[in-house]
Amino acid sequence: MMIDQSLTQVVGGIKELAQLLETDLKHGIGDNNKDDIDHRKRVFGVNMLTKPPSKCFLSFVLESFNDTTIIILLVCSLLSLFFGIKQHGWKEGWYDGGSIILAVILVIAVSSVSNFNQSKQFQKLSAKSNNMGGVEVVRGGRRQSISTFDVVVGDIVCLKVGDQVPADGVFLEGHSLKVDESRMTGESDHVHVHANGEIEKNPFLLLSAGTKVTDGFARMLVTSVGMNTAWGTMMGFITNKEVNNEETPLQVRLNKLTSAIGKVGLLVAALVLVVSMARYFAGCTRDDFGNREFVRGRTESDDVVNAVVAIVAAAVTIVVVAIPEGLPLAVTLSLAFSMKKMMRDNAMVRRISACETMGSATTICTDKTGTLTLNEMKVTEVWVGKRKIKADQEEDLAPSLVQLLKEGIGLNTTGSVYFHPHQTSSSLPEISGSPTEKALLSWAVEDLGMGDIDEVKQHCEIIHVETFNSEKKRSGILMREKRGRSNSSNNRVHTHWKGAAEMILRMCSTYYDHTGQIIIIDDEERAQIENIVECMATKSLRCIAFAQKSLLCEKLELEETELTLLGILGLKDPCRPGVGAAVESCKNAGVKIKMITGDNAHTARAIASECGILDDELDDDQAAVVEGFQFRNFSHEERMDKIDRIKVMARSSPSDKLLMVQCLKQKGHVVAVTGDGTNDAPALKEADIGLSMGIQGTDVAKESSDIVILDDNFSSVVTVLERGRCVYANIQKFIQFQLTVNVAALAINFVAAVSSGKVSLSAVQLLWVNLVMDTLGALALATEQPTNDLMNMPPVGRVDPLITRVMWRNLISQAVYQVLVLLTLQFEGRSSIFGGVNEKVKNTMIFNAFVLCQVFNEFNARKLETKNIFEGLGKNKLFMVIVGLTVVLQLVMVEFLNKFANTERLTWEQWCVCVAIGVLSWPIGLLVKCLPVRNKCLPIVTDLRSIARRK
């Protein structure tokens, strides 16, 4: 069902439409009537968009086949299969070609299953992302939060700044409502949905699903949901881009590394091909019986073709094993594992690149309210004039002053107070709204005796509303009393303002004392009141002031001067438990914390000191705390000079926060930003990593972010930082491990082919190593848990090398050891070492020793610098399972799949020799880690210097 303006003539108006939908315009639909809600879902549909069908497993298989190397390998295997069968018959001739085909199928299967599972995981993530926040609806006369998916036609939805409109509907009531329809129309200008008097001209003001509220508030009657909305209809014609096509920055760097190694592999393969061909046709190669393999004019053409195909297959296989195809798989596995763990740690990743980028963060710009604090506001201090009102002294206030405070709090709010029909005098009402609104309304109900807000509204007419603005930090209403008084009295209009104490105080020229007497604010009085505000702020209280003005005129604008101060309320928002430890952890990790808040400088300084952001020795350093107007008024050079010393920015606007992020990025920092409001969206998008709050965060903030912190806790931000570092470290571990395999395999086969014309490792064996090392090795190292030393290291810079000097030291030492040992076995194994074993047994031992070297080197790769490679091994049981599986599969390959793998069964003694060769990787790794590596500057210092030089 879709409503448009042509229905105005048919339906007749909002009330008639509500009657058709069986909705009470005040109380909404039934609260507990599940049958009615289910009926509405059956008739009008569910509020979910139908997504395009996901890719089937076969499509991933076909994508895996779309690889040049795989295609070449398959062609060679088919040729080998054809000529092998022709030469040796069906019984024996299929082994070589069939083995290669089987190995390629295994590689394709592993790749396809991995990509298919990744796609499924991202679909689940997307489903969770689409249902991140709740929607406030009126059901049974009270406001309640429900899932976006549970909104039905006939619901009355309450919209405020930052909300995304969950469905199509019509405007019921509200003030100053603006929506961003860029998602629907492409136009960036915000659209005024309602202005005074407009509702009478057009009773069907439409609100479309997918648009965002940028200002004001309203109530909306839902008329269509899901695929029946305008947004759903449009999305029905669009095929969404697959989420898993996103390529992370690290994957880009890995692709460059893979490309470079692939070029080296191609060069080596070409040399092996040329040398092997030359040696074969020159008659320098011999078979197992010592006879020349090629004799001009005597060797049959089939044998020549078979030999050429075998040489080409060996060369192509060298390319396969040279290209570290496991690197993308390692990234995928590590990121997927990290995303799963982050979800358990109350962080939902919306963009996969944020997992790795967060590990490189050098600065975190954090909000105060709800992130560093609990966001559980409570009025703890009240001042009327220059007198502090204690909890048992509200009765001493003049009745006229109490009434004005009730109006200022009850009318100038977006919250609500719901009294249950059977509520006792001792039970508290249900209060909804933002934490600040709830605290103010609770105080008004409990201490001032304010009843239902609707009763207050019945006696007045709201003329104009100015909603809370992050720039002005205040909100106001203009109202006229509707009581049965004289006409002159009814012409009196009243302005009520509420906002930051220092902002409201500037607008006031008088104040009420507790007796209701109005006193002029002279310079001395102003200084005393400002001192009261300052003292409250130093106690980390948020100071909210109320002011009022009455005029006997028809002026329909909010007065902003000559107001009378009603009172100042101090709201306490305690710090979250564990915030101090989390901040200290960031400092140890070399990550700077900057608190950006709208509170005044005294409150901000007090909270920052309590959380540990400000050190004791910096408490008196004025450079550490600035206000937003100061920061924006600095010259560019001053900002760039002072920005590293700034730890707190108070009284900041969204543009100040954005400016801070831009300056930090220009200085070379990798910046993470936390935010929860609509106005935080620019800073969240500008930051390298945007983190929105899952509880208090608006839909706009969440949509602009990369990661959603589900519990709004700064400790979870630190956990994300630790997980991000773990991702990067795990990928570096696998790179070191993988490149050791590549370098050793290339060197062994190249030297053997050039010197003897025979490769030590056959095509099937190389494919087996590639398969096992790429898949199982990636899985083992990608699932390593974060360690304590990760948060004691400096952050990784933007352009730091992916392969560090420490990695090169470890990699080269292991590769040299493997090449020397295995080439020694290649040339001296039969005669000097093993004493008369045949060529096939010798090659089997080389293959077995090579694989076992990688198995034991996997333990070395767990720790890039730590000498104790077994530290924390018990926490990663999956690692031990994978290592055990690798050994079992290798045992099967050597002992049972002899024809497939071109191996011979080995004796226990020969197995012990192979194991001993592998075990030697451990002491070599230990000795190498004793060699000092000249440290460079800290990564961030290197980045800053390079940027400074470019400037």
Name the residues annotated as catalytic: 367
Buried b / exposed e along 17-35 (16+ C-beta atoms within 10 A): bbeebebbbeebbbeeeee
Residues whose CB falls within 8 Å of the CB of residue 925, separated by 6 or more in sequence, listed in order: 810, 813, 814, 857, 860, 869
Pairing of strands 518-520, 648-650: unpaired
User: What is the rounded CA–CA span in Å between residue 825 and residue 253?
Assistant: 37
* CA nearest to 164, candidates 213, 214, 91, 218: 213
Note whether 883 and 780 are within 8 A (CB). yes
Residues whose CB falls within 8 Å of the CB of residue 190, separated by 6 or more in sequence, listed in order: 178, 179, 180, 214, 215
DSSP state of 202: -
User: What is the rounded CA–CA span in Å between residue 195 and residue 177?
Assistant: 8
* CA nearest to 583, candidates 625, 619, 612, 607: 612
The pair phi, psi for residue 336, each rounded to 5°, is -65, -45
The pair phi, psi for residue 283, each rounded to 5°, is 80, 20
User: What is the rounded CA–CA span in Å between residue 744 and residue 826?
Assistant: 14
User: What is the rounded CA–CA span in Å between residue 74 and residue 750?
Assistant: 22
Pairing of strands 190-192, 168-180: antiparallel
User: What is the rounded CA–CA span in Å between residue 774 and residue 771?
Assistant: 5
* Helix (H), strand (E) at residue 366: strand 363-366
User: What is the rounded CA–CA span in Å between residue 176 and residue 672?
Assistant: 33
Residues whose CB falls within 8 Å of the CB of residue 344, separated by 6 or more in sequence, listed in order: none
**DSSP state string for 617-684:** GGTT-GGGEEEHHHHHHS-HHHHHHHTTT--EEES--HHHHHHHHHHHHHTT--EEEEE-SGGGHHHH
Residues whose CB falls within 8 Å of the CB of residue 374, separated by 6 or more in sequence, listed in order: 573, 574, 575, 576
DSSP state of 789: G
* CA nearest to 730, candidates 686, 783, 684, 694: 783
Residues whose CB falls within 8 Å of the CB of residue 40, separated by 6 or more in sequence, listed in order: 29, 152, 153, 154
User: What is the rounded CA–CA span in Å between residue 781 and residue 796?
Assistant: 20
Tokens of 743: 């370098």
User: What is the rounded CA–CA span in Å between residue 715 and residue 712?
Assistant: 9
User: What is the rounded CA–CA span in Å between residue 620 and residue 784?
Assistant: 44
Note whether 692 and 706 are within 8 A (CB). no
Note whether 174 and 159 are within 8 A (CB). yes
Is the Cα dihedral 102, 103, 106, 112 positive or negative?
A: negative
Pairing of strands 671-675, 363-366: parallel
Which residue's entry shows tokens 């590689």? 107
Pairing of strands 592-596, 648-650: parallel
| Packing angle, helices 95-130 and 57-65, rounded to 10 | 130
